[in-house]
Structure 1
Amino acid sequence: MDSYPQDFPYGILDVAELLHLQRRRPGPNSVYTDCPFCKDRRGKMNLNYVKNVWRCNYCGEQGGMLSLYARLNHITNSEANREIREALRIENTAYSSRPVIKVTEGSGDTGPGLSEPVAAPGNGLGHNSGSLAEVPQSPRADIQEIHQTLSLLFGMLTLRTPHRLHLRSDKRGLTDEQIEVLGFKSTPLPFLCRSLTDRKLNLTVKQLQKDNLIFPVPPNAL
């Protein structure tokens, strides 16, 4: 990793402003922007302003804030650091310049969307760094809990007939037995995911209650 918050008087959002990255929506300890590498306009690139790192969830490109600037300008990390400091007018100051950046709330289409100026946080070290404070993360569940949860969610899916026929075709050459053993499933259309998940979860909870595997929580228990 080529940069950390404590090492620089500026943060990755300062770099994003200099690069004119289109900011789409906030995330935990991060913001999402359009990716300048794969040119995807749906806000798939995550900028973590606590660790000063970035990653595009669409094309997989990733790195630190210096490499982001350096790669887009075809220069070295050292040259990137110097240019960023010059652009932000940073000499020996301890804090970020905290520029104003434009936030577009939208689906990531090519239209202009709705914009409003928002103060960009620096690297989280300065005395004015409270606008985007670090969000505490929940403890990671153990492997068994993760396995059970994903198995439950995976079990909610089915294999559609066209997909089964494709798997059985000469191109794939699988038998029904192999398909079942390997556990092939069809993913639902994106706009159906929420309703399907809610419906399946409700049915699963009711079945577990019916089998006395879980018990309803009394209203006054919480």
Structure 2
Amino acid sequence: MEWKEFGIEEVARLCGIQMKNDGIGAREIKALCPFCGDKHYHLYLNTQKNQWNCFRCGARGNDVSLYARINCMTNKEAANELSNCITGTEPKRIQPINSTPMKSLMERHNVYYDMLQMLPLNNTHFNDLIKRGLSMKNIQNFLYKSVPANEYERREIIKKLSAQHDLSGIPGFYRKYGEWKIYEPPYGGYFVPVCNKDGYIQGLQIRLDVDDDRYRWFSTNEYPEGTGVSSWVHVVGDISSDTAYLTEGALKADVTSVLSGGSLLIAIAGVNAVNCLSDTLNQLNVKKVYEMFDMDKQVNHRVKEALIKIKGILNECGIETKTCTWDPWYKGIDDYCLYKKKRHNSSYDRLAA
């Protein structure tokens, strides 16, 4: 049965959901997810598609299902109640934004590579990477660079890039009043390339300088003539290996690979960002995967649920899977590897027995 659309923003307000940027006309609104104890606005409300999706716990649906789930009722009951609550009002319609289809991998790589070559890495970001256990050579090879910090820097980058490349279809860029613009995150940070097995840059993540919302895609899907990203999987290390280590986050994978002497690391952007995982695995010679998500997986039910899905994908690919644990004092595998390196004054070259 089809239900009347009431508008995801209006329904979210009725449900008492706290929204971060709820300006009139916003196409995408960030909010606190009411289902997973979210404190950092992982719930996205798409007012154009009338959909909601939490990137922390994976919950998703439309306006009716949101109201139904919060109030513990069926969709039919929710639709009837919403009809009474919003009688005589038309759902808000957001003007569709003309997005641009994504360019090919090589076209994206060329733009991102040239942009990163133009950018510096400031001392704060350099020191952060050094503290993680990377060397200056590692930092240079991985192409970590600081996000342009002001309007002048952004204009200079756009001027140089647009003279060399067509920026349409490249996530992170959009056109406003006929001029190309670059995505500007709400806080400073540095770029982390997300690469395929051959080292080509599929897209960029931004490691933000704040703790409450650390990572964000370099994406402009909500901007005019902008382009969104896919849930790309990052690959680093010895791609000829038949054993891989699966974790969350490209930076964590880079650090862990370096500290373990070049082990093959595969990183998804989040525990629910698995759409590209099977394709990535099929391109490698992997026979066995050690799952190495953060140690809060032992108590975090949303991670436990996501791991069941991930193991199902690995099984479908015919890959043996083993879950790894370590001293929970060190939340991430990169933290644990750094501890082992400092303790033994050498690379921790055996991630799993």
User: What does 1:55-204 correspond to in 2, within 5 Å?
Assistant: 55=53, 62-89=60-87, 97-99=88-90, 120-121=91-92, 132-169=94-131, 172-188=132-148, 192-203=149-160
* Map of 1:7 onto structure 2: 2
- Quote the offset at 1:198 in angstroms: 0.5
Query: Over residues 123-167 of structure 1, what are the superposed CA-to-partner deviations in whole Å (9 max), with x where a residue is unaligned?
Result: xxxxxxxx6454443333333333333333333332222433343
Higher-Rg member (1/2) = 1
TM-score (structure 1 length as normaliser):
0.51
* Map of 1:47 onto structure 2: 45
Distance across 1 between alignment mates of 2:134 and 2:159: 34
Distance across 1 between alignment mates of 2:56 and 2:114: 26
TM-score (structure 2 length as normaliser):
0.35
Count the aligned residue pairs.
Answer: 157
User: Aligned in 2, Cα 1:181/1:137: closer, same or farther, shift over 3 Å?
Assistant: closer
- Quote the offset at 1:53 in angstroms: 0.4
Residue segments in structure 2 that go unaligned for 5+ positions in a row: 165-353
Asked which structure has the greater RCO (Cα within 8 Å, sep 6+), the reply is 1
Query: Over residues 14-69 of structure 1, what are the superposed CA-to-partner deviations in whole Å (9 max), with x where a residue is unaligned?
Result: 52453466631424xx353654644669xx86533443202468997643222322
Residue segments in structure 1 that go unaligned for 5+ positions in a row: 1-5, 90-96, 100-119, 122-130, 209-222
User: Aligned in 2, Cα 1:162/1:139: closer, same or farther, shift over 3 Å?
Assistant: closer
* RMSD across aligned positions (CA): 3.8
More helix by share: 1
Query: Over residues 67-100 of structure 1, what are the superposed CA-to-partner deviations in whole Å (9 max), with x where a residue is unaligned?
Result: 32234334444442332233335xxxxxxx435x
Q: Secondary structure at the match of 1:181?
A: helix
Q: Secondary structure at the match of 1:26?
A: coil
Does the CA-based 8 Å contact 2:116-2:143 persist in structure 1?
A: no
Give percent identity, aligned residues only: 25
Does the CA-based 8 Å contact 1:12-1:53 persist in structure 2?
A: no
